[in-house]
Amino acid sequence: SQKIEQNSEALNIQEGKTATLTCNYTNYSPAYLQWYRQDPGRGPVFLLLIRENEKEKRKERLKVTFDTTLKQSLFHITASQPADSATYLCALELGSGYSTLTFGKGTMLLVSP
Amino acid sequence: GAVVSQHPSRVICKSGTSVKIECRSLDFQATTMFWYRQFPKQSLMLMATSNEGSKATYEQGVEKDKFLINHASLTLSTLTVTSAHPEDSSFYICSARDWAEAEKLFFGSGTQLSVL
């Protein structure tokens, strides 16, 4: 069966450090992968999308890598801040068009001052 | 980015009553909207895909007679939880795509439903 795995344990880091979150998937060949941020009691907010032919994507302090051989994406937040504390979800879509997104459970990031 | 408005944000109801949740795309037209449910510390689970002017497509295991979806216009989709029971208590979130940014999903702020 198709599966998306994110570390279920919360990641605790100190302010200023780089946070690295992992998303592994099996039995998919996604055309692209997305990362979302979700705050408690709120809907997810889109952060970044990376396509299968891209190895790395950056946006301000965010960086995403995508290794289709390892079936893994890494999500980095550099110079982390307490305001970055949230749950980060990865999501996959199977192909082009408007097929539905499947989400991982998310990893909670806690950045302490 | 596009804005999706969802109301109410929180509702408490008695068992056996029906609850309607509204999802609106504020600055774009959404021919397709998606309804998700999320239990604490769990992933978003797609319940159904709502298509403007036609019947919704429900995911396996989701009762279409219990979760009524209506997408009567290009900016409004509603989810009605009929005869709600405590096990229906959950966080319900709608989302939509803006054709201009078709790959992204824009989410509403969610509705926390508590059935007593």
Q: Which residues of A touch B (CB under 8 A)?
A: 4, 8, 32, 34, 36, 41-46, 49, 89, 91, 93, 98, 100-106
Structure confidence at residue A50 (pLDDT)? 94
B93 to A32: CB separation less than 8 angstroms, yes or no: no
Taking CB atoms and an 8 Å cutoff, what residues of chain A touch B114? Answer: none
**Which residues, 6 or more positions from B68, have their beta carbon under 8 angstroms from its beta carbon?**
B79, B80, B82
Nearest to B7 by CA among B105, B115, B116, B113: B113
Cα(A57)–Cα(A70) distance, rounded to whole angstroms?
A: 17
Mean pLDDT score of chain B: 92
Residues 65-104, chain B, touching A (beta carbon < 8 A): 91, 93, 95, 97, 102-104
Mutate to test the interface with A, among B103, B113, B114 (most CBs of A within 10 A): B103
Structure confidence at residue A39 (pLDDT)? 96
DSSP output for B34-88: EEEEE-TTS--EEEEEEETTS--EEPTT--TTTEEEEEEETTEEEEEE-S--GGG
For residue A108, the SS3 value is: strand
- Say if B108 is an interface residue toward chain A (CB within 8 Å): yes
**Which residues, 6 or more positions from A41, have their beta carbon under 8 angstroms from its beta carbon?**
B91, B110, B112
CB-CB neighbours of B52 under 10 Å: 16
Structure confidence at residue A93 (pLDDT)? 78
Structure confidence at residue A31 (pLDDT)? 81
B18-74: per-residue pLDDT in tens?
999 999 999 888 888 999 999 988 889 999 998 888 889 999 999 999 999 998 888
Q: Which amino acid is at B18?
A: S
Give strand pairing partners of A13: A111
Closest residue of A to B97, CA-based? Answer: A98
With the CA atoms of B73, B10, B68 and B38 taken in that order, what torsion angle do they form, in degrees rounded to the nearest 10?
Answer: 110
Smallest Cα distance from B107 to chain A, Å: 6
- Say if B5 is an interface residue toward chain A (CB within 8 Å): no
Taking CB atoms and an 8 Å cutoff, what residues of chain B touch A95? Answer: none
Higher pLDDT, A95 or A46: A46
Smallest Cα distance from B59 to chain A, Å: 11
A63-111: per-residue pLDDT in tens?
999 999 999 999 999 999 999 999 999 999 754 455 678 899 999 999 9
- Say if B40 is an interface residue toward chain A (CB within 8 Å): no
Cα(B98)–Cα(A31) distance, rounded to whole angstroms?
A: 19
